[in-house]
Amino acid sequence: MKLTRDFYQRPTLTVAEELLGKRLVRESTEGLTAGIIVETEAYVGPDDPGSHAYKGRRPFCETMYAEAGCAYIYLTRGRYHCFNAVTERADYPAVVLIRAIEPTDGLDLMARRRGLDQPKLLASGPSRLCIALGLSRELNGIDLTGDVLNVEDVGLKFDDIARSGRIGLTLGQEIPWRFFVQGNEFVSHFRKKD
C-alpha cells in the first residue's frame, strides 16, 4: 500500500525511523527498480548545523521547504546525487535522507546502471542508491505519492533498529539522527573521517 501524504507530515525523526522496512519503488522507461529501505538520516529545521537550510533559505535548497511528500534530490561532490523525502509542513525545512536500500526488484537494471553486479554494492550508500534507481536532479521536487517514485508499506517491521551520529558531515555529525537496521548487510559502511 502506497504511503499517503499524511505519513510525511509528521515529526521528521518519526518519519525517518518508520521509513525503515518500507519499499522504495522507482518506475522508469527502462523498467521498474525497488528495494527495502534499511538506512536513513534526518535533517531537521533551520537550526540543524548539518542541514543545507542552516544558513537560511536559498534557491539551491528551496525544495526542502516544499510540501511534505516531495522528493529533494540534489547534486553532491560535483557528480553524485542524494535523495531525500520532504517532511513536516511547507515552509519548514525538514527532510529524511535515504542512505541505503536492500534491492528487491530490477536487480539486473540496477547492475547495468551501476556497472557492477554484487547485490551488496548496488544501493548501499546515498549516491549509489540514486545511480541504481536512476534518480537525478531532473526529478527534484517530484511528488512521492505519484507513480514515478513512491514508497509503500509492505507490512515489514524490523525489530532491531539502531541510532547513531550522521555520516560524512563537517557540522552536526554528532547528532544521533541516523537510523539503520542493526546487522543488515545492505546498510552502508562507516567511513572514518580524518
Partner DNA sequence: TATTGGATCGCC
Partner DNA sequence: GCGATCCAATAG
Q: Which residues bind DNA (CB under 7 A)?
A: 41, 43, 50-52, 55, 58-60, 64, 75-80, 82, 84, 95, 97, 114, 116, 121, 125-129, 131, 137, 167-170, 188, 191-192
Burial class (CB in 10 A: 0-12, 13-18, 19+), 173: middle
Compare residues 23 and 178 and give the one whose CB is closer to DNA.
Answer: 178
Least Cβ distance, residue 187 to DNA (angstroms): 12
Q: Which is nearer to DNA, 55 or 163 (CB)?
A: 55
Answer whether 146's CB lies under 8 Å from 138's CB: no
Q: Which is nearer to DNA, 2 or 75 (CB)?
A: 75
| Vertex 81 angle, CA 77 and 85, to 5° | 130
Report the C-alpha dihedral over residues 64, 175, 22, 26, rounded to 10 degrees. 40
Q: How far is the CB of 83 from DNA (least distance, A)?
A: 9
Cβ at position 49, least distance to DNA in Å: 10
Name the 3-class secondary structure at 96: strand
Q: How far is the CB of 65 from DNA (least distance, A)?
A: 12
- Residue number with CB closer to DNA (84 or 150): 84
**Least distance (Å) between residue 78 CB and DNA:** 2
- State phi, psi for 128 to the nearest 5 degrees: -60, -40
Nearer to DNA, 161 or 169 (CB): 169
Cα angle: 167, vertex 172, 178; to 5 degrees: 45
**What is the nearest approach in angstroms of DNA to the Cβ of residue 155?**
28
Query: Which CB sits closer to DNA, 2 or 62?
Result: 62
Cα 43 from Cα 77, distance rounded (Å): 19
Q: Characterise 123 by phi-psi region: left (phi > 0), alpha (psi -120 to 50), beta (else).
A: alpha
The residues facing 178 across adjacent strands are: 41, 164
